Amino acid sequence: MIRNFTSTVSLNKRLLGFFAVLLATTAALSVVGIILGMFGTFLFNGGTGVTWTFLTEFPKNSNTEGGIFPALAGTTFLVLLMTILGVPIGTATAIYLTEFAKQDSWFARSVRFAVNTLAGVPSIVFGLFGVGFFIQFMGTNIDGALGTSSFGDGSLLWSAATLAVLTLPVVIVAVEESLKAVPRDLREASLALGATRWQTITKVVLPNSVTGILTGSILAVGRGAGEVAAILFVGVTYSSEVLPNAVTEKFMHLGYHLFVLSTQSPDVDKTLPLQYATTIVLLGLTFLLNLTAILIRSRLRKR
């Protein structure tokens, strides 16, 4: 029988426990600190630089003055085109993996292995792949076939294609998760009523995972919007007087613009406020996209 509740745990062990908690809490706090510090630094140094004119004007004087409008527009075009190219393929792959593939088949395992490998490939490698495959192989062949000369060079199209490949794993994983969340019973109920597999997918499975597909797209856009290394060689340009008129033209990009401002400018110190302001816009954009994805996801969970 317990007569009193005096601790039988030794002082040493209690101290150890105390320090472990302290250490873990400090580590967790420092993560928050780093994020806050990051945002704080940029906002403090460049917060006043983000103005309406900054967002809507073209750069002036070799990127040392003016705004970031073409970079903002270029980034937007890029991720839109990337979404159009990548999300359908990613969604189709996820549908194949969850709905059609025999789970332990050689092919399904190869696809999964490929998706995981793709997720771990450094982004600069995607850039080189874009040059080798999209520009030199596909572009040159298209030009040869059509008698044009616009496809065999870096462009918005090939950059978007490269980014679509890069973000494919993000889309596949997100969509697959949402497809798997659709109860098996719901599929069986549909099939038992005489629906084909495809009818079951379009009428029951997909409507139940629209939010997942949306989340996947937004996460992909968030990842793609901030990506610079992958598009370095496939169509981004450091300065442009006009917005791209066709997908085969070159474009400006926020992340690359930042790189240009901080390394390629005639007067790097002078562009520092511009750099900070551009960073805020880029961070804000990715943060906003991720936040949207999180909100959609939490709504999905509540249902």
Q: Residue 60: in which H helix or E strand, if any?
A: strand 59-60
Shortest distance, position 299 Cβ to other proteins, whole Å: 14
Contact mark string toward other proteins, 51..90, x via CB under 8 A: ----------------------------------------
Shortest distance, position 84 Cβ to other proteins, whole Å: 28
Specify the 3-state DSSP secondary structure of 92.
helix
> Does residue 191 belong to the site contacting other proteins (CB under 8 A)?
yes
Pick one of 104, 147, 241, 302: the residue that binds other proteins (CB under 8 A).
Answer: 104
Nearest to 225 by CA among 253, 186, 244: 253
Pick one of 27, 120, 194, 269: the residue that binds other proteins (CB under 8 A).
Answer: 194
> Does residue 1 belong to the site contacting other proteins (CB under 8 A)?
no
- Residue pair 192/214 in contact (Cβ under 8 Å)? The answer is no
CA distance 167 to 170: 5
Contact mark string toward other proteins, 225..264, x via CB under 8 A: ----------------------------------------
Specify the 3-state DSSP secondary structure of 260.
helix
**Secondary structure in 3-state letters for 76-98:** HHHHHHHHHHHHHHHHHHHHHHH
Q: What is the dihedral of CA 137, 125, 222, 25, to 10 degrees?
A: 170
Phi, then psi, of 194 in degrees rounded to 5: 90, 20
Pick one of 159, 208, 209, 286: the residue that binds other proteins (CB under 8 A).
Answer: 208
In the bound state with other proteins, the residue whose beta carbon lies nearer, of 3 and 102, is: 102
Binding residues for other proteins (CB under 8 A): 102-104, 183, 185-196, 199, 203-204, 207-208
